[in-house]
Amino acid sequence: MAARTNAEAETAARTNAEAQTAVPVNAAAETAAGADDAARAAGRTAEELARAAEREAATLLGPPAPNRLGDVVPAPERVEPDAAADYLLAVDAVIRVSADPAAVAVARQLAALLRPATGYPLPVTDTTAPVPAGGIALVLTDEIALGAEGYRLDISTDGVRIAAGTAAGLAHGVQTLRQLLPAAVESATPVTERWVLPGGSILDRPRYPHRGAMLDVARHFFGVTDVLRVIDHLARYKLNRLHLHLTDDQGWRIAIDSWPRLATVGGAGAVGDAPGGYYTRADYQRIVGYAAERHITVIPEVDLPGHTNAALTAYGELAPDRAAPAPYTGTEVGFSYVDPASERTYDFVADVLGEIAALTPGRWLHIGGDEAFKVPAEVYAGFVDRTQRIVAGLGRDVIGWHQIAPAPHRDGRILQWWGTTGEDPVTAEAVRRGARLVLSPGNHAYLDMKYAPNTPIGHDWAGLIDVRRAYDWDPATHLADVPAEAVLGVEAPLWTESVTTLAEIEYMLFPRLPAIAELGWSPRSTHDWDSFRRRLAGHGPRWATAGITYHRSAELPWPATPVPAPRSPSPGADQAEQPSVSGRDEPPVRPGSVPDRG
């Protein structure tokens, strides 16, 4: 079948699905007999033939798959539905996988995703194992066209096959498969459901290599469990970078052996009277490892030379006046800085970045660089230059907020754009000197902005960002005088001056994070607000079932949220990690919540 656009493919699928519902029982049997002939020609045993016929009849006799093949966020590159090829996952299905440790890990993750709701055993075996057909195969291939992260998904009555050149590609294919199953697949306990997938093929590859989100753990601290759950959210939408904003005026959140008071003193507080905290080296490694298993690279940020009040409370010797300031619990910015004229400062920078680099397998170190209002421009550029050299000496590439643009170029340098104007000659000039860009425009991608005036948390200094505004821009043309080739991708930052709990994180992420994810992944040819809002609305029941808090924006046509019927009571089930409220419209307004800083 020739490639079609999503919209065409979906229309065709709908027509097919309608026709299919009308298939009479004897026609189903005939189709099954046809499948038998094909299987015999392929040299299958009588038992396999019988099973194939049974599977096909079971698929055809039931209602069609509840989801259409194109109902995926981010939108896949190419979708070719075949409504006669729906696949019904059976209780005895097996997951087969290529003999490669990273691929096997993806297969285990798939089994772990499907087992709770289906209650099926779903054993994972080698692709060469003599098991009956009819399960799910994850296959590493050498199809170079699939690239570093692409995958091909083929769903037929006989089985499901995900092929990719890398384990990352398989993992993305698994997330697509997950979205194509009924929403009840998100249930933590067994549910009575027909686990049917829509038939056909998907070929999918990302538009950009860098697709990220940022979590500010400095303004409010979030423990390891919360961060792991955020990583799961990123993986769902095929994001591949988690930027952790580890240090700021209000808190230093990572243990540094050579400067121990950074964490123990600098990590003690947070905004307001919220508790502080920091990650031990083991905590940080757990986060990095969990992300890596999900093909997500952690990008640690140490914000320099400004946003350093917490560091200065621990080591006054780094302050321009050599005096440790009081801890800061407010939400102003731009007042603090480490002394760029002191050699001790560069010892500090080298030690901190060196220790963090040693714990970070990824290629990038983020050095912040924003809002150092009190450092004169020339001194600032010199500080950034030296810090960039330290990063290069550690064998890493530097990322900084776009304020680092005036500093000299270094190979691999990435600027993160967070402006709201769509043009900046200084950034464009740095790009001409070789820098590349990650786009986080404050007025589209900042997840700490309110959705609407009545959003109980968040800011509005970059405007209100509803779902449509998060979706309606094009990374390739967003910044004037910057060629499309200089854009590496997108990132959605979540600053947390006003965000204090996991539920509030999720409320700001959903449903906007998937909008940014789609801009980073999907080809521009699929960009279509009506299609996006319809596909995204279908995720409401998934989030509700998974216990994920989200904003029920009036922009999206939400389906009624079904409550999955538990198959059997599970009194022993540990619900401790489920948030107490899910799918609610607004998070509670907290007394003394942080005022907007305008």
302: left (phi over 0), alpha (psi -120 to 50) or beta: beta
For ligand TNX, how many residues bind (rule: CB under 6 A)? 10
| Residue 274 CB, nearest approach to ligand TNX (Å) | 15
The rounded distance, in Å, linking the Cα atoms of 97 and 140 is: 8
Q: Which of 448, 491, 506, 555 binds ligand TNX (CB under 6 A)?
A: 448
Q: Which of 48, 370, 397, 491 binds ligand TNX (CB under 6 A)?
A: 370
| Residue 442 CB, nearest approach to ligand TNX (Å) | 7
Of residues 204 and 303, the one with the C-beta less far from ligand TNX: 303
Of residues 95 and 367, the one with the C-beta less far from ligand TNX: 367
| Residue 461 CB, nearest approach to ligand TNX (Å) | 6
The rounded distance, in Å, linking the Cα atoms of 378 and 374 is: 12
| Three-point CA angle 272, 276, 280, nearest 5° | 160
Q: What is the per-residue binding string for ligand TNX in 382-411, x denoting contact by CB under 6 A? A: -------------------x----------
The rounded distance, in Å, linking the Cα atoms of 130 and 321 is: 73
Of residues 200 and 300, the one with the C-beta less far from ligand TNX: 300
Strand residue runs (E) in 473-548: 487-494
| Residue 368 CB, nearest approach to ligand TNX (Å) | 7
Q: Which of 495, 507, 543, 550 binds ligand TNX (CB under 6 A)?
A: 495
Binding status of residue 418 toward ligand TNX by CB under 6 A:
yes
Q: What is the DSSP letter of 421?
A: S
CA atoms within 13 A on the CB side of 248: 27
| Residue 56 CB, nearest approach to ligand TNX (Å) | 55
| Three-point CA angle 388, 390, 394, nearest 5° | 115
What is each CA distance from 128 to 87, 138, 139, 171, 306, in whole angstroms?
22, 12, 11, 20, 57
Q: What is the DSSP string of 105-166?
A: HHHHHHHHHHHHHH-----EEETTS---SSSEEEEE---GGGTTT-EEEEEETTEEEEEESS
What's the token pair of residue 88? 């019904």
Catalytic residue among 54, 317, 355, 371: 371
Of residues 56 and 497, the one with the C-beta less far from ligand TNX: 497
Of residues 76 and 400, the one with the C-beta less far from ligand TNX: 400
Q: Which of residues 48-107 bind ligand TNX (CB under 6 A)?
A: none
| Residue 7 CB, nearest approach to ligand TNX (Å) | 36
Q: Which of residues 211-250 bind ligand TNX (CB under 6 A)?
A: none
Of residues 458 and 540, the one with the C-beta less far from ligand TNX: 458
Q: What is the DSSP letter of 564?
A: P
Contact 209, 436 (CB under 8 A): no
Print burial letters for 45-84: b (CB count within 10 Å at least 16), e (below 16).
eeebbebbbebbbbbbeeebbbbbbbbbbbbbbbbbbbbb
Q: What is the DSSP letter of 399?
A: E
The rounded distance, in Å, linking the Cα atoms of 111 and 27 is: 34
| Residue 1 CB, nearest approach to ligand TNX (Å) | 46
- Angle, helix 101-118 to helix 167-180, in steps of 10 degrees: 10
Q: Which of residues 295-354 bind ligand TNX (CB under 6 A)?
A: 333
* Residue 212, helix vs strand vs coil: strand
Of residues 364 and 495, the one with the C-beta less far from ligand TNX: 495
The rounded distance, in Å, linking the Cα atoms of 176 and 207 is: 16
Residue with tokens 């059997």: 568
Q: Is 301 a catalytic residue?
A: no
| Residue 293 CB, nearest approach to ligand TNX (Å) | 29
Q: Which of 232, 317, 371, 528 binds ligand TNX (CB under 6 A)?
A: 371
Beta strands 78-81 and 364-368 are unpaired
| Residue 306 CB, nearest approach to ligand TNX (Å) | 9
Of residues 87 and 495, the one with the C-beta less far from ligand TNX: 495
What's the token pair of residue 454? 């009545």
| Residue 449 CB, nearest approach to ligand TNX (Å) | 7
β-pair partners for 252:
247
Binding status of residue 460 toward ligand TNX by CB under 6 A:
no
What's the token pair of residue 571? 């009194």
Of residues 351 and 460, the one with the C-beta less far from ligand TNX: 460
Of residues 82 and 448, the one with the C-beta less far from ligand TNX: 448
Name the H helices within 422-526: 425-432, 442-445, 467-471, 502-509, 513-521
Of residues 424 and 448, the one with the C-beta less far from ligand TNX: 448
Q: Which of 96, 152, 220, 459 binds ligand TNX (CB under 6 A)?
A: 459
| Residue 219 CB, nearest approach to ligand TNX (Å) | 7
Contact 183, 117 (CB under 8 A): no
Contact 368, 302 (CB under 8 A): yes
Interface contacts to ligand TNX, rule CB under 6 A: 333, 370-371, 401, 418, 446, 448, 459, 495, 497
- Catalogue the active-site residues: 371
